[in-house]
Amino acid sequence: MKGFIWGVVILVIVIVGFKVFNSVTKNARETAQQAEIVSKMRAEKYDEAKELIVKYYKDTDKAKELLAPIKVKEDEIALEAYTDKIKIPDDWEWKADEKNSKYTSIHGKIVNTGDKTITSFTILAKYQDGKKKTLSTDSANCSESVPAGQTKNFEIKHGYSSDYKSVVLSVKNFTLDQQ
């Protein structure tokens, strides 16, 4: 009977040891896989990182969790690249409001030279002195779509100051139609 009990104890120890070994090996493998994926992401090799995620995790919740930050970064890169496709032509106008000289107004337009629809955007105006130092800023938000190849007018009204010698305009915070 003692031999049987010792045999069972040894068998239990072997099984538990095997499960612990497998668990440790699996955790080490997953840690190495995640480190490999993170390494690719840090090197901005997002396509390679995605391939590894699909290879290691297939279509699991873990794969979705690991793919989410890559999608965010890819969207940021796409927006940054699209910035060059949104133009403010030089024919915009900055003048004092004829009815109320306490204000100035800027009238202009943006041109979407890209292949996607802009769904919203902000025009930022920086009012500068003669030394190009920014004294004040203002903006105009637009939530109307601007299809590819189209234009959209904008207007910015801002308080008048004789210290303002120039205005610099830029497009900020735009969104694109994801289709």
Is the domain of 126 the same as that of 168?
Answer: yes
The residue range of the domain holding 52 is: 2-82
d(CA 50, CA 55) in angstroms, rounded, equals 8
Is the domain of 78 the same as that of 100?
Answer: no
- What the block records as the tokens of 56 is 């290691």
| Per-residue model confidence (pLDDT) at position 131 | 95
Per-residue pLDDT, averaged over 93-100, amounts to 77
In the chain, DSSP assigns E strands to: 86-87, 93-96, 103-112, 118-128, 134-142, 151-159, 166-176
Contact 127, 138 (CB under 8 A): yes
| Per-residue model confidence (pLDDT) at position 46 | 82
Q: What is the tally of structural domains in the chain?
A: 2
pLDDT digits (tens, 9 = 90+) for 5-15: 655 445 545 55
Is the domain of 71 the same as that of 99?
Answer: no
Is the domain of 46 the same as that of 68?
Answer: yes
Is the domain of 12 the same as that of 71?
Answer: yes
pLDDT digits (tens, 9 = 90+) for 42-88: 888 888 888 888 888 888 888 888 888 888 888 888 888 888 999 99
Is the domain of 97 the same as that of 170?
Answer: yes
**Among candidate residues 47, 63, 82, the one where a domain is terminated:** 82
Is the domain of 41 the same as that of 97?
Answer: no
Is the domain of 93 the same as that of 169?
Answer: yes
d(CA 50, CA 63) in angstroms, rounded, equals 9
